[in-house]
Chain A
Amino acid sequence: MVRATHWLTFVAFIALLVTGGEIVISHPRFYWGEVGNVNTKPFFVVPIPASRDTVPTGYGYVMPDQNGWSRYLHFEAAWVAVLTGLVYGIYGVASGHFRKNVLPGRRDWSWRAYGGRVAQYLRRKPPDRAEETSYNVLQRAAYTVVIFVLFPVVIWTGLAMSPAFTAAFPWTVELLGGRQSARTIHFIDSGLLLLFLLVHVAMVAVSGFRSRMRAMITGYGRDSICDSEEGR
């Protein structure tokens, strides 16, 4: 279950990332508060040409407009991600996966535990035996933030940009300080998720891409956490 939802989320996330990027290109300016447009001061600007000639970017070049299919695919992939997340969330609670493997353990609530593991990484010492069947403190912290903060917030801010959803639940956008704030947080959150993806893939590569991939896909491997769980 962990592996199936992981890979479904991976496919959906890549689709969301690419299409989200395409949508940003049509207006690479970000604002804070309720409203924002080319006549208002931006909070920050992504220094790229836009796909619409109404946006002053200073490049004198208009990129091809890909918003139509990007929007269709963005929302379809969002459904895949949300429904997969729902299944994973229910499974994670019911099976104890979150408690056993993801959330930091009681002994992990100290700087020492984190410092120790960072030092271990830096000295390139091999992982402890306990890591054969579960994640270490740094992995747990990263996964906890991604699963319980970054993903929920990116879904929330996405919905807060929907004029229909906010008609039904106005507080979802008002709590964030407005529609443009929601859009800006959505963008920054996506950036953090991309950063996680890059580090995550780099760590897999460092620890042996082929053997790790085999474990992540099939669940086989002496030290595979996925295996230990599925084979209950």
Chain B
Amino acid sequence: MNKITRRKLIRGGVAATAGVAGLGAADRIAKRYGLIPPDRGGVYGPGETLTYACQRLLTVNRPAREFPRSMISKNPFANSIAKPTDEFKQLQAGGFRDWRLVVDGTVAHPLVLSLADLKNLPVRGQITEVACEEGWSYVAEWIGTPLSNVLREAGVLPQTRYVVYHAFEKGLWGSIDIEDAWDEHTLLTMGMNDGDLPVPFGGPLRLRVPRQLGYKSLKFVTHITATDDIKKFGKGLGSVDPEYGYSWYAGI
């Protein structure tokens, strides 16, 4: 057993001071570059922040994996959805002609778009994998217009840091950071494989976020809000998922 010498004490003190100063600097840098997730509180905050910060830095300008057409799953699995309400059934009976996407928040021109309006924007397809947090996955082709087109159309303001999206069912909502929102693969999806996006898969409109797990790809999207302050939404955790114990960021 070694005795605590003066040299050891000084060395330890310097190391501790440097450590605290380093953490302080890291915190400032992380805040400045948006590397801290909204659900940073609690015992799981440090792990969540490390994961989000590292993956945010790693994925800058790195698109989601795409697959050849031959790898499209023959029997994709649509996870269970809530029983459609009468209001939804009515819209479905009308071929979703009256489905509207509201775009508001920190934008120069708030918009109300029909599916036809969305289809008039540049449309693209992508063959990406849906991976559920439970472990299963499938590959499909998703067709729609990148969210970035809608943000550009609405004139999203420079202070915007998050894009919040709401589902038809009240209380179901999520958000992504501005980096993911501008990603060309973040797709307002209206078609799947050879046809319209089926209702069990989120039709008529699903926001695909392929660099994150399936639960970030919200089904039945009706409303998009750009914001500079995510704390204003729900309990301030970035989406409804942390309120049920699931992390806001789902890149892993």
Contacts and interface: CB of A to CB of B under 8 A. Distances in A.
28 contacts: A23-B133, A26-B135, A27-B136, A29-B135, A31-B136, A34-B129, A35-B71, A35-B137, A36-B136, A36-B137, A38-B136, A53-B80, A54-B80, A72-B44, A72-B245, A72-B247, A75-B51, A75-B252, A76-B44, A76-B46, A77-B47, A78-B47, A79-B51, A162-B252, A163-B129, A164-B251, A179-B129, A179-B137
Main secondary structure of the interface of A (DSSP, over half): helix
B63 A71 contact: no
A23 B135 contact: yes
Interface stretch (B14-22, B157-165, B206-214): B206-214
Given A35-B73, A54-B80, A26 B134 contact: yes
Contacts of A169: 58
A162 B137 CA distance: 12
Nearest to B46: A76
A25 B252 CA distance: 18
A55 B210 CA distance: 23
A168 interface: yes
Interface of A: 23-24, 26-27, 29, 31, 34-40, 52-55, 67-69, 71-73, 75-79, 161-170, 173, 179-180, 183
A219 to B, nearest CB: 9
B64 interface: yes
Contact of A163 (B71, B212, B244): B212
Contacts of B46: 76, 79
A76 B55 contact: no
Q: Which 6 pairs between the two chains have the least Cβ-Cβ distance?
A: A76-B47, A68-B245, A164-B251, A72-B44, A39-B75, A37-B136
Contacts, number: 126
A165 B251 contact: yes
A164 B139 contact: no
B50 interface: yes
